[in-house]
Amino acid sequence: MKKFAIVAALAAFTIPALEAQGLDTFRKHWKLSGEFTLDVAKTMPAEYYTFKPNDEEMDFGRVMVHIGLANNNAFAIFGGQDNPTPQAILAVYKDPKGTFKKEDVIQFLTDSFAFGDKVLSSQENSRMNMMLGPENRKMLGVEWIWSYFTHTAHHRGQAEVYMRVKNVKPPNYRF
């Protein structure tokens, strides 16, 4: 019970602490997350972009595109802007048999993280305290962008496991 109380107290301070630091702290970590995610994507050899460990999983290229798609959607909502995802990427992603070339994935991820940077650079701290998102998923702006930061880390970790299965050493973690 004591451990639960400590964890609950720490969690209660996480979001307000991020809000107090504002967008500057998030921008710094978002930039590093983008650089690290791109390093993961660049390190995987092109011939393994269609690798998936089993039929239930997305292949490596699709995991990387999934990160970019989610980020574009999240930052479009956070910034009150249009989603910049190219229709060609969406068409391949929607096709269950569609696959992605490494160079297309790298470009899409580069553009996606640049879009996130642009949105973060153009927003004020007040956006962190606004309720954002579709009706069935309304959250504070700080929760909205933090949840997609976490989403990126989750799938980047998944991609690193794929790399290890193929005996490819992922880039060294940094934060």
Q: Which tens digit of pLDDT belongs to each residue from 102-121?
A: 999 999 999 999 999 999 98
Q: Which of 34-38, 66-70, 97-101, 170-174 has the lowest mean pLDDT?
A: 170-174
What is the number of structural domains in the chain?
1
* 64 within a domain of the structure (yes/no): yes
* 171 within a domain of the structure (yes/no): no
In the chain, the DSSP E strands lie at 131-132, 139-140
90-99 burial: b if 16+ Cβ within 10 Å, else e: eebbeeeeee
128 in Cβ contact with 22 (< 8 Å): yes
Average pLDDT over residues 118-146: 89
Q: Which of 3-17, 104-118, 135-149 has the lowest mean pLDDT?
A: 3-17
* 110 within a domain of the structure (yes/no): yes
For the range 98-104, what are the long-range contacts, defined as Cβ-Cβ under 8 Å and sequence gap of 24 or more? 98/62, 99/49, 99/50, 99/59, 99/61, 99/62, 100/49, 100/61, 100/62, 100/64, 100/65, 101/46, 101/49, 101/61, 102/41, 102/44, 102/46, 102/49, 102/61, 103/46
Q: Which domain holds residue 151?
A: 2-165
Taking all residues of the chain, what is their mean pLDDT, rounded to a whole number?
89
Q: Which of 6-10, 55-59, 72-76 has the lowest mean pLDDT?
A: 6-10
pLDDT at 15: 52
* 172 within a domain of the structure (yes/no): no
pLDDT at 23: 76
Which position has the higher pLDDT, 120 or 59?
A: 59
100 in Cβ contact with 106 (< 8 Å): no
Length of the chain: 175
CATH code: domain of residue 47: 1.20.120.450
Question: pLDDT tens, 25-53?
Answer: 888 999 999 999 999 999 999 999 999 99
* 81 within a domain of the structure (yes/no): yes
pLDDT at 7: 46
* 36 within a domain of the structure (yes/no): yes
pTM (two decimals): 0.86
pLDDT at 4: 44
Average pLDDT over residues 127-152: 92
* 131 within a domain of the structure (yes/no): yes
132 in Cβ contact with 78 (< 8 Å): yes
* 175 within a domain of the structure (yes/no): no
Residue 73 in this model has a pLDDT that exceeds 60: yes
